[in-house]
Amino acid sequence: MEDIASDLLKELNCDTAFTIPVFGGIEVAESVVVTWIIMAVMVIFAIVMTRKLRIQNPGKRQVIIESIVTGLQNMVKGFIGEKGTRYVPYLVTVIIYIGISNIIGLFGMKPPTKDMNVTAALAVMSIILIEYSGIHAKGVKRWAKGFAQPVAIVAPLNVLEILIRPLSLCMRLFGNVLGAFVIMELLKMLIPVVLPVPFSLYFDIFDGLIQAYVFVFLTSLFIKEAVE
């Protein structure tokens, strides 16, 4: 049992991949390196898939890619409404990144979303976008007055909500990804051959994609609420 616990703790740790020898040494976490890999793969994939695009008589590859992109855009537009259309590209990028991050464990890498620093950064970026969308749509005065709605006495609670929302987004994503990772690691240690396969299909793929969907869904709803 102690061996299992130590092995599990080892898997849960987000190790330092390397140290940049400046300013006394800047440690670069493993989650950051994996994120760089995901970003590089996404950029290369986008460059390769968008070569030789045609307006007339598109090939099968172009039709498939356009169908996927259009499907994701329409899904997010359905969440966020017409007033939030300008934020759709960012949200589509986020859902792709989180989705890939959550299933990258299938390729022998630790999911970046298992690191709370990553989920916290995603949540902070989302809340900044949410508040910016409200200011952009209403102006600073109307946005500030919104904290006193429906009555002025609830203003402190509305201000506190700005802190609660990113915390909720962060902990929901981190907790679900971490929980799935722990269960899969325990199954691999206890029954390493056959049983983990169907559970891997659920926790590594289905649940990972669901968490990406939920994160973007909630962010979209918050933006929709802010711009209305």
Q: What is the pLDDT of residues 115-162, one digit of tens each?
A: 888 888 888 888 888 888 888 888 888 877 777 777 777 777 777 777
Which amino acid would we find at residue 219? T
Asked if pLDDT for residue 9 goes beyond 60, the answer is no
Write the pLDDT tens digit of every residue in 34-90.
899 999 988 998 888 888 777 777 778 888 888 888 898 999 988 888 888 889 999
The residue ranges of every structural domain in the chain are 2-227
pLDDT at 5 over 80: no
pLDDT > 90 fraction of the chain, expressed in percent and rounded: 4
Indicate the pLDDT class of residue 91, thresholds 50, 70 and 90: very high
Torsion angle of C-alpha atoms 118, 217, 146, 132, degrees rounded to 10:
50
Give the pLDDT confidence score for residue 136 in this predicted structure: 87
pTM here?
A: 0.80
pLDDT of 108 > 60? The answer is yes
